[in-house]
Amino acid sequence: MNTFEIGERVRELRKKHKMTQAEVARKIGVSSPTITQWENNQTSPKGDNLLRLSQVLSCSPDWLMSGKGHPNDIHENVEAAPRLKGLVPVINEVQAGAWTDIKTGFDESEIHEWIPTLQANSRYAFALRVVGDSMANTSERRSLSEGMIVVVDPEKQAKHRSIVVARLADSDKATVKELVIDGDRSYLRPFNSQYQIIPITEGMVIIGTVVSASLDLT
Residue 170 parent element (H or E): none
- Is the per-residue pLDDT at 2 higher than 60? no
User: What is the Cα 75 distance to its own chain's centre?
Assistant: 28
Ranges of each domain in the chain: 6-66, 86-215
Q: What is the CATH number of domain 86-215?
A: 2.10.109.10
Alpha carbon distance 72, 168 (integer Å): 51
**What's the DSSP call for residue 105?**
S
> For residues 57 and 52, what is the distance between their CA atoms, to the nearest angstrom?
9
For 1, 18, 24, 30, 39, the CA distances from 21, given in Å and listed in that order, are 20, 10, 5, 10, 9
Given this model, what pLDDT does residue 79 score? 46
Distances (CA, A) of 64 to 1, 26, 31, 140, 208: 11, 19, 19, 40, 38
Cα(136)–Cα(113) distance, integer angstroms: 25
Higher confidence at residue 47 or residue 158? Answer: 158
Mean pLDDT score of the chain: 82
* Length of the chain, in residues: 218
pLDDT band at 106 (very low <50, low <70, confident <90, very high): low
Question: How many Cβ atoms from other residues are within 10 Å of residue 2's Cβ?
Answer: 9
**CATH 1.10.260.40 correct for 6-66:** yes
DSSP-assigned beta bridge partners for residue 212: 151
Q: What is the pLDDT of residue 87?
A: 74
* pLDDT > 90? residue 98: no
Helix 21-28 × helix 32-39 angle, to 10°: 110
Q: Checking DSSP bridges between strand 185-189 and strand 86-91, what pairing results, if any?
A: unpaired
Which strands, in side-by-side order, build the sheet including 163-167?
Answer: 114-117, 86-91, 126-129, 148-153, 205-215, 163-167, 174-182, 185-189, 198-199
E strand or H helix at 174: strand 174-182
The predicted-structure confidence for 20-68, as pLDDT tens digits, reads as follows 998 888 888 788 899 999 999 999 888 778 888 888 888 888 788 888 7
Tell whether the torsion through CA atoms of 23, 24, 28 and 30 is positive or negative. Answer: negative
Q: Name the more confident of 93 and 218.
A: 93
- The least confident of 2-6, 57-61, 97-101 is 97-101
Q: Residue 157 gets which letter from DSSP?
A: P
